[in-house]
């Protein structure tokens, strides 16, 4: 499809941006050549670029815009806070009504036992704070040897030094000489890619056992915590099979390893319940939240503590020497609280776990008959589509063909945002999406997979 030449306004933004702006996860030589896509506004589930082109946002931004774009209530809550108290901090025994009210609301909606919260500005900072909190916990408990963190291959926990060390996407490590010492990775239940002839359940148990093996190798007295997402997001939407989480939970308890669950994607309705921990029956010691906490309208993250760690930290006679200038920022807290109230009022979690989620999963499953699709999988309002060379053998295309990238480019041209993680196409739309919009999303998805298949000579 040919594109009209961009307007002078768009060209100017592309030029100044390419000259002065270092983008996250972007190859800059490439960007300078093509020019960035300029998104200028958004409404509901739709984005609009600087050329007026409309795109349906199948990713809710970066998995975060639960309530959709353009919600007045959130804008107003932020505006009110900006006028009343644009900034004050929570250091040195001070608080604000905004962060106190948000803490109480979080205690209401988070999994049983998670009752106390520390605030940060991003999911990465939440996980870095978790690493510090867990080290401090074991020091206070008189077990200072428990220091090693075990996470999983293909995990994504963010980009700061400790969060990137927890992350198991190996492409993130060499540029910064990571992981730091004391961070190790075990297998993840990516059955589609690695499960071979086993059933998904067998493979799940095998990968859970890799945690136990690693604990025995390191010595439980040296292991602080296991860190994991309920469903692995950025690693390719890896959904654990039945039995996996029960086994992980059993192993953590047996060896007295803390379980820190990264709910940054799964939280706030994404998997059909308030938290991924609810969906998979996990009883975490700590959880990390961001993204859907404010639907992305403001940068805010929260680290939630269960009774065990919470009691120790709260009863410590020492000051906790940690906290950000913007921890519990009043404007971010006000917007997050308005967001949670909106999610409750519109029953978005119930819809994701009910009609909307069921309809989304039904339409997703219909793509499984496509000759290019090796598997579809999903839970709640998350979906993945595996593009493969050979359906029966689950055989992927050679990586350098970048079939996923080709499909994603068709999506952009046709007006759909669908993410490519290798050749795994991923969807995570706003929870407010209507059935008609879900129809539109999947009609475009099928068209773009068709176009990709034609490029490859499959159709
Ligand atoms: C996005 C993400 C993070 C990092 O959050 P940022 O706000 O980008 O720092 C951490 N964990 C998971 C599971 C995520 O998806």
**Domain end (from 299, 330, 345):** 345
Per the structure, how many domains does the chain have? Answer: 2
With a Cβ cut-off of 6 Å, ligand 1 is lined by: 122-124, 127, 156-158, 229, 233-234, 262, 264-265, 290
Q: 180 and 216: one domain?
A: yes
Q: 111 and 48: one domain?
A: no
Note the helical H segments in 28-93.
28-34, 60-63, 72-84
Q: 151 and 274: one domain?
A: yes
**CA pseudo-torsion sign 102, 104, 107, 110:** negative
Instruction: For residue 158, tell me if it sits in a domain.
Output: yes
Q: 99 and 60: one domain?
A: no
- Please name the residue whose Cα sits nearest to atom 5 of ligand 1: 123
- Alpha-carbon gap, residue 305 to 113, rounded angstroms: 8
Q: 251 and 229: one domain?
A: yes
Q: 363 and 325: one domain?
A: no
Q: What is the dihedral of CA 214, 217, 221, 225, to 10 degrees?
A: -10
Backbone dihedral angles phi then psi of residue 186, each to the nearest 5 degrees: -120, 175
Mutate to test the pocket of ligand 1, among 60, 237, 265 (most ligand atoms within 8 A of CB): 265
Distance 156 CA to ligand 1 centre (A): 7
Distance 2 CA to ligand 1 centre (A): 36
Q: What is the CATH number of the domain that holds 362?
A: 3.90.1150.10
**What confidence score (pLDDT) does residue 3 get?**
60
Distance 134 CA to ligand 1 centre (A): 19
Distance 121 CA to ligand 1 centre (A): 11
Helix (H/G/I), strand (E/B), else coil: 388: coil
- Please name the residue whose Cα sits nearest to atom 11 of ligand 1: 157
**Domain end (from 319, 345, 371):** 345
Contact 40, 49 (CB under 8 A): yes
- Alpha-carbon gap, residue 376 to 239, rounded angstroms: 11
Its domain, for residue 419, covers: 37-67+349-456
Distance 161 CA to ligand 1 centre (A): 13
**What confidence score (pLDDT) does residue 213 get?**
98
| 437's tokens | 């919009």
Mutate to test the pocket of ligand 1, among 230, 277, 290 (most ligand atoms within 8 A of CB): 290
Distance 166 CA to ligand 1 centre (A): 11
pLDDT (tens, 9 = 90+) of the chain, 459 residues, equals 446 789 999 999 999 999 999 999 999 999 988 999 999 999 999 999 999 999 999 999 999 999 999 999 999 999 999 999 999 999 999 999 999 999 999 999 999 999 999 999 999 999 999 999 999 999 999 999 999 999 999 999 999 999 999 999 999 999 999 999 999 999 999 999 999 999 999 999 999 999 999 999 999 999 999 999 999 999 999 999 999 999 999 999 999 999 999 999 999 999 999 999 999 999 999 999 999 999 999 999 999 999 999 999 999 999 999 999 999 999 999 999 999 999 999 999 999 999 999 999 999 999 999 999 999 999 999 999 999 999 999 999 999 999 999 999 999 999 999 999 999 999 999 999 999 999 999 999 999 999 999 999 998
Q: What is the dihedral of CA 254, 320, 156, 301, to 10 degrees?
A: 120
Instruction: For residue 234, tell me if it sits in a domain.
Output: yes
Q: 175 and 273: one domain?
A: yes
Contact 380, 352 (CB under 8 A): yes
Instruction: For residue 15, tell me if it sits in a domain.
Output: no
Instruction: For residue 120, tell me if it sits in a domain.
Output: yes
Q: 80 and 53: one domain?
A: no
Instruction: For residue 398, tell me if it sits in a domain.
Output: yes
In whole angstroms, what separates CA 23 from the centre of its chain?
19
Q: 341 and 353: one domain?
A: no
Q: 297 and 414: one domain?
A: no
Instruction: For residue 30, tell me if it sits in a domain.
Output: no
Instruction: For residue 44, tell me if it sits in a domain.
Output: yes
Name the percent of the chain in helix, strand, coil, to the closest 5.
45, 15, 40
Query: Which residues, listed in sequence order, are joined to residue 164 by a DSSP beta bridge?
Result: none
What ligand 1 atom has the least distance to the C-alpha of 159?
9
Q: What is the CATH number of the domain that holds 120?
A: 3.40.640.10
> HEC profile for 111-173?
CCCCCEEEEECCHHHHHHHHHHHHHHHHHHCCCCCCCEEEEECCCCCCCCHHHHHHCCCHHHC
Instruction: For residue 12, tell me if it sits in a domain.
Output: no
263-275 core/surface letters (b: 16 or more CB in 10 A; e: else)? bbbbbbbbbbbbb
**Domain end (from 315, 345, 375):** 345
Contact 140, 217 (CB under 8 A): no
Q: 164 and 85: one domain?
A: yes
pTM recorded for the entire structure? 0.98
Cis omega before residue 350 (within 30°)? Answer: no
Q: 131 and 269: one domain?
A: yes
Distance 46 CA to ligand 1 centre (A): 23
**What confidence score (pLDDT) does residue 2 get?**
46
């Amino acid at each position: 499809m040919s594109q009209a030449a961009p307007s002078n306004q768009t060209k100017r933004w592309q030029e100044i941006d390419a000259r002065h702006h270092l983008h996250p996860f972007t190859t800059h030589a490439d960007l300078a050549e093509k020019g960035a896509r300029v998104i200028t506004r958004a409404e509901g589930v739709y984005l609009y670029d600087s050329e007026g082109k409309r795109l349906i946002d199948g990713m809710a931004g970066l998995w975060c815009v639960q309530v959709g774009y353009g919600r007045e209530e959130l804008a107003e809550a932020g505006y009110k806070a900006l006028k009343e108290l644009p900034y004050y901090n929570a250091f040195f025994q001070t608080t604000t009504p905004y962060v106190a009210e948000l803490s109480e609301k979080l205690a209401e909606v988070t999994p049983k036992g998670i009752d106390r919260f520390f605030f940060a500005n991003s999911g990465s900072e939440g996980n870095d704070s978790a690493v510090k909190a867990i080290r401090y916990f074991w020091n206070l408990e008189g077990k200072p040897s428990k220091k090693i963190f075990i996470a999983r291959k293909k995990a994504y926990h963010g980009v700061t030094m400790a969060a990137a060390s927890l992350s198991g996407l190996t492409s993130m490590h060499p540029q910064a000489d990571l992981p730091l010492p004391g961070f190790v990775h075990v297998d993840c239940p990516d059955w589609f890619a690695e499960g071979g002839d086993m059933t998904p359940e067998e493979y799940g148990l095998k990968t859970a056992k890799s945690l136990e093996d690693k604990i025995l190798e390191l010595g439980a007295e040296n292991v602080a915590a296991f860190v994991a997402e309920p469903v692995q997001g950025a690693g390719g939407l890896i959904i654990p099979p039945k039995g996996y989480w029960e086994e992980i939970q059993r192993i953590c308890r047996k060896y007295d390893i803390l379980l820190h669950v990264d709910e940054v994607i799964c939280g706030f309705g994404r998997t059909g319940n308030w938290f991924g921990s609810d969906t998979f029956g996990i009883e975490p010691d700590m959880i990390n939240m961001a993204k859907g906490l404010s639907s992305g309208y403001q940068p805010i993250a929260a680290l939630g503590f269960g009774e065990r760690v919470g009691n120790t930290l709260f009863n410590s006679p020492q000051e906790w020497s940690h906290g950000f200038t913007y921890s519990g920022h009043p404007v971010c807290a006000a917007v997050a609280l308005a967001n949670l109230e909106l999610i409750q009022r519109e029953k978005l979690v119930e819809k994701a776990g009910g009609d909307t989620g069921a309809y989304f999963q039904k339409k997703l499953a219909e793509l499984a008959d496509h000759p290019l699709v090796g598997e579809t999988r999903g839970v709640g309002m998350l979906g993945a589509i595996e593009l493969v060379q050979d359906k029966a053998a689950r055989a992927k295309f050679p990586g350098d063909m970048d079939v996923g990238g080709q499909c994603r480019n068709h999506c952009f041209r046709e007006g759909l945002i669908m993410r490519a993680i290798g050749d795994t196409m991923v969807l995570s739309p706003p929870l407010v999406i209507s059935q008609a919009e879900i129809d539109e999303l999947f009609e475009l998805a099928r068209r773009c997979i068709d176009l990709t298949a034609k490029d490859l000579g499959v159709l």
